[in-house]
Each structure stands twice: as structure tokens, then as C-alpha cells.
Chain A
Amino acid sequence: MFLTISTTGTPERPATDLGFLLHKHPGKAQAFSTSYGRAHVFYPEASAERCTAALLLEVDPLALVRRAKGGKGKGGGAPDAALAQYVNDRPYAASSLLAVALSAVFSSALRGVCKALPERAGEPLPLRVEVPALPARGGPDLVRALFAPLGWTVAAEPVPLDERFPDWGASRYVRLVLRAPEGTLTLSEALRHLYVLLPVLDDAKHYWVSDDEVEKLLRAGDGWLAAHPEQKLITSRYLSRRWSLTRQAMERLELVRLADADDTDVEEIDNAVADGPETEAETEAGSEAAGTGPAATGAAERTAPLAVLRREAVVAALRAADAARVLDLGCGQGQLVQELLKDTRFTKVVGVDVSMRALTVAARRLRLERMGERQAERVELFQGSLAYTDKRLKGYDAAVLCEVVEHVDPERLPALEYAVFGAARPRTVLVTTPNVEYNVRWESLPAGRSRHSDHRFEWTRAEFRRWADGVAARYGYDVTYAPVGPDDPEVGPPTQMAAFTQRTATTPTDHGMNENSRHSGSSTSDEGAEAA
């Protein structure tokens, strides 16, 4: 990983002053030991007209792996090598590791301190920064959006993933050239921009962040971050690495290994819980509609309401069905369970999910461990799967499948139908699912894209009814439908709900005359034939 910083000068103010400002002599190549390998500083050119300092960090990938495994210090901890692959872009890309090296090697310059030329340290100077391989999540546009407001002239050119395979498109790296004309930025400012924005652009999942990142950000951002138009994004991304740490702590290593066995990125299978802070940012359209784009913010206002509306609709339907013992099948992070616990008419609330991560998050949300005995008796969370019948699911008044069916492959739905309607057989079943017709109303959702990357299908209202009517007929339920959210006259509501009620089970005694009933006749009295 590599970057250069250049300046120009005149005989009166020679460019080689850069050496003083950086506290590194232009005539020497110097090496420094840092946490992630050796950092080298040298000057490919050093004249009065033009001086360039180069920072080259030799990252030792094996050291990274060992560090990840070693578990010392914050964020190490991961006991599994799978997290820190030997095949890793860290030795090449200008990642957050380079930012760490930058601050270590140029610490005085970063703080704007220069004993030799104290007055120059505070003066703006013409600058040019080149970063040949900058990992930039968000692409050149975001790079420009981050640097341009700070006074830089930005040239950000995407690096192709592999020129041999042009249809693979661009990689997440850009070749970055920043220029600041005379009188714009001080060296300290430039270094602090890089120190904060390299990791923000890198946005890597598992790298090592210390506890005092907030203070570091405040210090490095002093004077420019507060007024930056992308301040929110910068802060959230910079600090989100800490949430990644939380995620890492919860990493289901078993899933990591299964992904690995299948040459799959673990995020493709360990995706039951949306990444990021666990606040009420809610998944919903926030991530549903906006997908992976950086501009998820816009969708947030109208999304939380839909999730809330959905829960309200479910709770109301459960009350109407007079359900007391309720299963939340596919409970995810436990929001509905939490809602149900607020109403004591629900005497037992069981959250079931196939994702252990989801259950962990749900348990934390509900503060299960600190819950009083009486409350705790009302709630239970366990891992289960609707691809299998499950005896534990029998004997409940109602089951809720809130935004669940669309996460199941269509050819495996019959198994789910059987597990719920055939085997568990609660009196009431509520099913909610997106109404795909409504997708055209999501401005941020590109046409034809589903609301969530894990949706195996999204149904129109007619498709949903066809499915639900069929299930009801096969399993002896009646079904009614209700919209959730604004019922658009043209495309319907964003969420559709079906409420299934088991057709009144006739009590066996009504059929006492029927020989097939186990209650019929006095068969038991004939046991004497074999006993006596």
C-alpha cells in the first residue's frame, strides 16, 4: 500500500521544506515499525521546484492473520483464521491500515507541529496526493463528494477488476489524485483528511479499531468535519467499524466455515440480520428499498412506519382472534415479540427463528437475561426451522409469519405449509408478505428489483391470494385478507396480510356413532382378551 504527497516550491520557499514539515529527511529512505508491518518513507523527487514524499507500508498478511487469531487487544479476538484470509487486499490497497501508519509516521505533521519551520506548518501550500489503489465503497462519486468540499480538486478513476475480463466491470478501487492549489490547505489538514477519509472509504468489515475512536475522530476532524456536507455519512461509517466489531464478536464461525466450504462469501448466507447498528434503524425499506447504496438515509422516514403498521396490524388481528398463546415464526430480531409482551393478554409468546444470530439479537433486545421470573415465563426464544415439523410448535392459539414466506424458495413452501398448517396447526395463522405491485411506489427501488436481497419472490395480490386460498383449502382453514399500510387504489398496500382460521373443529363426541373415531364404542373394555 502506497501513497505520495507532493508539493511545489520556489527558490525562496523550496519544495523540499516538505521534508521539514514531515520530519523526514528527503535524502534518506527511512523505515518505521508499525502495528501492521514496516512503513517506509522516501522521496522519489526532492528539488526546490518539486518534492514528493512516498509512504509505503509493507503489510505482513501473516501478521494480520496472527493478529486476528491472537485475540490480544480490542477487536483481535476472532479465534478463526477464516476471518482473516491469507488472500487479502490489505498488503496492496490504501486501507484503514495505511491511515494508521500515516498517523504513526507523520504524527507531528498531522498535529501541525514543526519545530524547524513553525510558521510554515500553519501555512497552506500547494499539494498533490496520489493514492494508486484506494478502496472506495461508493465509488468515484463518493470519493469526489468527500474530498471536493474540503478544497481538493479530485481525479478519481475506477480501477478495472481484471482487464482480462472486462465484463466484470470496475473494482472497488480507484486511482485517486488530489490537488490543492496554493493557499488552500495546510499539510496538517491534508493529512487529517486522509486519516479520516481513507478508512471511511475503505469501510472494511473486520479491521481493528480501538476504544478511543470517537476522540480520534473529533481531533482529526477538527475544523472541517462539522461543516462537511457528508458529515453524517463520514461519522457513521468511521464509527460503524465499531459495530462491525460487535458483529464480529457475534460472528457465527460455523456459518463462516460453511460459506467457506462452498466458496461463498459469508455475508451471502449469514444475512438473516441486517448489519449495522442495532438501533431502531429497522431493516424494512431502509435496507430493503435502498439496497446497498450509500444514500439509504432518504428512505428511513417512511420505512419505520411500515414496520410499525405491520406489527400493529398483526397485534390487532391476534386480539381479534382472541389468541393468548402465540408463536412468532421467523421472529428475526424480536420486535414483534417485544410488542406482544406489552399486552398481558398474550400469556405465552414464543419467538422462533432459524438464524442463531437473529435469536441472539432478539434476546438482547428483550433483555431476556435480566427479565423477571414472571415475565420470563411468558416468553421463549428458540431455533427452529419451518422446513421441518416441530413438536414444540403444537398447542398454540396462533402463529404469525410476518415477512417470512418470501424468504423461502417456492419449491420448499409446501414443507413450510405442512409444518405450520398441517403439523403445528394453531387455530389462527397470520401471514404478511410484500405486495410486489406496490414496489413502483418506492422511489428508491429500481424497477424489477425486490425489496430485500434475500427475497426469493414477491407476490402480487392475486398471487398471494391464490397461494393462501390453496393452503386454506388443503388444510381446512378459512382465510381473510387485509391491507397493511396505505391501500393504494391502483397498486394496493405495501404489505398484504392473510388471516387463516381453522375451520371449526367438530368435537369428536358429535361423531360418537362413527366407528373410526377413537372415542367411539367401548373398545378399551375389550382389552381383557389379551390381558386375562
Chain B
Amino acid sequence: MKSAGSLYFAGVDLGSTMTKVVIIDGDGVIRARVETHTGAEHRRLANRVMEQALKQAELPFEEITYVIATGYGRINVPFADRQITELTCHARGVTSLFPSARTALDIGGQDAKGLKIKDGKLTNFVMNDKCAAGTGRFLEVIAKTLGLKLEELGDISLKSQNRVNISNTCTIFAQQEVISRLSEGVPVEDIVAGLHEAIASRAVGMLRRLGIEGDVVFTGGVAKNKGVVRAVQENLGHQVLVPDDPLISGALGAALLGKEIAFKSLEKGEPLPKKERRLAEATFYK
């Protein structure tokens, strides 16, 4: 039998905006991590992201003991052994990054999630996935309206001296409000800071519904935006923990859960509950 270190596990997180793959070994050491834009066409081509990760880890696909797919596109990934929701995977990933975490906020491209965690496990959650308001997509649309790059928003908002109130967190209405503020001559940084506040107050409200306990971890693409992080902290009244790479907690959690499932089966001497898998295109849209 192989030693734990020579077993490998992959987590594939197919988000609405970004696809993330993490490969770990049996000791939990990260051997590869790839993040790339999902895009309309690329959702189908998650296998290519997996191939990149395999190349980075210098491993053939057959060497991967267990693959778990998560995220909005987790269904019908032909190279995964099992699918687990991003909520459970994030909870696991966040705990491995910050063992003290009891509450997590994840704001991705398409939804916002609040998680309650105990002993490394998800115990409760709340989700906003009905509209783009308060998500990364909201920031993308607004950045475009302002003629800015998404990644510039954070630094720009930190220059704000007089944040405006953006009353609408409906993406379309907020876009109109931004245009009207611009025409009033309000500086861009004050508008952007107002948008960040709108996202943060909405997200923290969602977390409060869930009940905030212990350290709060903030993950997802939106956690890369320093302006939103600051606004979330102001709304919470305390610091949040943000991983160096806020995007990977879901994929990392998926890989770790894969490892735990595999080790449990090995301990019991049971065969791994595996599917016949092919490193092929996803059939999500067929």
C-alpha cells in the first residue's frame, strides 16, 4: 500500500465566475493550485483547469485518489468521484486556514453565503443567491459603469473622504444611482466607498441573522477588495480574518474532505465510493 504522502486528492470548485482546483497530498500539503476565469465556454472546460493543476503537481490524473467537485457547476463533472456543496467545502477549507473560525462570510461572483462552523463542520448557513445584488457581479457591473478595473475599486475607495449613501443594492437600480451621482459631480472614490458599504451592510445583516460567534473569516473573490473588507469590519465592529488567497477555501475544503473520506474508507478496509471518471468536458449544458 502507498504511504499517505503519496496519495493525492483534488478539489474542483466550479464557481460562477472563477474555477479553482487544488491538489493536496495525503499529508494535506498543497501540491497545486489553479484559479482561472470560468466564463461561458470555460464552464464546460473545467477539465483543462484540472489538467493545468495536474501539470503543476507533476502528476498523471490516475494518481489522484479522490476528486470532489463543488460550487455552482459541481453537477455533471465527469472527472469527479463525488459532489459536495460549496457550503460544506468552504466550512472545511476555512477551518484548515483558521482553526479558530466559527463564522465565515463568503462573497463570490454570484452569491453571498454566511456559515456557522463548529469543530470544523458546517452547522448552519444562510445564502443569498437570488440576484446579483451584494455579490461580485454587482461590483463588476459598477466597475464597468465607472470605467474602472474591478481590481482597482478597493484602493480607490480607500481614498474616499466623504462616502455617499447608495440606497439600492439592486444592481440595476444602483447602476442608475451611480450615474446620477456622477452627474452631480460626486468624486468617484466616494461613490465606490458607498457601494462597498452597501455590500458590507447587506452581508453583515445576513451574518447577524445567522448569529455571529468567534472569529469571522471573510473569503471569496470579493474579499480581495480592501474597501469591502474595511466596510465589513466597520459594520461588524471588529477585525475579520482574510486568507492570503481568499478564492481557494472551497477547492481546498473539497480536497481535504476527499482525503478524509478516503482515509475513513481505508481505515475501515472498505472500497472507496468511486464513480467511473473521465478527464473530459463537463456536460452541464448538454
Our verdict on whether A and B bind, yes or no, reads no
A-side residues, CB < 8 A to B, are none
B-side residues, CB < 8 A to A, are none
